[in-house]
Structure 1
Amino acid sequence: MRRKFFLLLGWVFCTYLSTVLFPTVDSFSLSNYLSALIFNPFNLLGAVVCFICGFLAFASLIKEFLEKVIITTGKHIRLRQIYLHRSEKIVMLSIILCLCLLLFIHVWVTLASLIMAMYYSIMDIKDKQEEQSYFDEL
């Protein structure tokens, strides 16, 4: 429970910090955008590092939830009936509320974090399943 809570806080903090640190430009033109990136390289570096840490934390949360919900047997995927404890329900509700909050703050960064985290967690589960089936064959 603590791990999930700290992952949630890390995701929200890092995603918010990446939206704050990413250089903003008054008018969107390539020259203004490149000059903002050239003159503030550490802001861009900090934003990218925070974004990567945030989406990895969120991917870990999604992966834990998907491993609890999905049963994979061979090539068939089934959903299992799960019982969520009260603390897990609170974490899931907090994830939804934080996602809505971050969507109001900055839509594109939050959507990019959500899409990349979903993709990364699904690929990680798939790799884990293929690795397990490989060792089962031996």
Structure 2
Amino acid sequence: MAPLRRYDDPRAARAGGRGAAQPVSLPRPGDRADARSLRHHRVAATDVPIAREYRVFLYRGEPLAHGYYWPYFHDFVALSPAEEAEVLALARRAAARLDAPLLSLDIAQLESGAWIVIEPGDPQFSGLSFIAPRPLWRRLAERLSLETGS
């Protein structure tokens, strides 16, 4: 995985982001696609590509839940079992590099088919997207109770 670096793009700010850590630049409308562009079918009104992107919530490096990122676009909802395994393996590797017991990761597919971490997040500020809340919080409660012995 490429090291994370600061990404300050006015498109991210218009979409509500604030210079999130990014391993690659997002393609701009009209840019030639290359091996590092995000796989997408359309671009939102904010010029952000509606990518094949998934959010993963993790606790101590292990996934609690994951789901498709874009709540209003359903272009790429389903993952094959092999893709799901690849996304979750990448999430585990990325979480191992971060000093955060509870985090969310946004992971997207490049046109090349490879998967990248778009940004890590603080789960208290991360929307659930297509993730069912009760199973997510139940899994977190179970893991916390195992740690505390309650």
> Whose helix proportion is higher, 1 or 2?
1
> Whose strand proportion is higher, 1 or 2?
2
Taking CA–CA contacts closer than 8 Å with sequence separation of 6 or more, which of the two structures ends up with the larger relative contact order? 1
Structure whose alpha-carbon radius of gyration is higher:
1
